[in-house]
Amino acid sequence: MNSKYKLLIVLVLLVFSTATYAQQEIEKMIQIRAAEKVSQMCDYIEFMANPENGNDVRNKYKGKAVRLFVANCEPYEDEGIRRKGVEMEITSTLRKKPRRRLMKDYFTGLMNMRYSKVQIKSSDIHDIQLSELRKIDDNTFVCTAVFVQVFIGYRDGRPIYSDRTKKSVKCYVYKEETIEGNEYIVKLGDTKALETQKLKL
């Protein structure tokens, strides 16, 4: 094997490894953005659920939360299937089967719960687990984010209900070409309840 051929092989391997490293860095960046979106959703849910925050504040965060999701929670197409809107799966230790509600209806329900105080604590952003990206088409990818949420409802200053739910959120990643290069936009989709456990009060 002559030196020119060896050099060519080295250059090919170098280009390949550089491209692979760049792709891995892009995927890490996208996963970080997805985790940030899920963390924002959890923060907004916490604000909306607690009546101590007042209706003006809660409505403000409802508006922000809606914009985190695909089509702002309006009807959209998901891998060729027309959907009425993004959905949230709701669970309770008092019911055996989960219920599915449109996300906007879920937000409204949060603000109408009959608790005097609500505490919701979710996984820290660094504890949110992200799956690998799955390609849908040249400009669309999806991944799944898994997190844990603890809910405590109070009445007259006393906790009367609490649970711990493991949830997963479908995350859509849209690649958009800009003057400065590719931009990756993350929007959230359906949220599913994987497991719900009763907590001691």
Q: What's the rounded mean pLDDT across residues 172-188? A: 89
Q: What's the rounded mean pLDDT across residues 4-17? A: 51
pLDDT of residue 14: 47
Identify the bridge partners of residue 102 per DSSP, sorted by sequence position.
87
Q: Is the confidence at residue 85, as pLDDT, over 70?
A: yes
pLDDT digits (tens, 9 = 90+) for 150-160: 999 999 999 99
pLDDT band for 71, please (50, 70, 90 cuts). very high
pLDDT of residue 179: 80
Q: Is the confidence at residue 75, as pLDDT, over 90?
A: yes
Q: Is the confidence at residue 13, as pLDDT, over 70?
A: no
Q: Structure tokens of 62? A: 């409802």
Give the C-alpha separation, 45 to 60, whole Å.
11
Please give the DSSP secondary-structure letter assigned to residue 112.
T
Please tell me the pTM assigned to this model. Answer: 0.87
Where b means 16+ CB within 10 Å and e means fewer, 124-163 reads eeeebebeebeeeeeeebbbbbbbbbebbbbeeeeeebbb
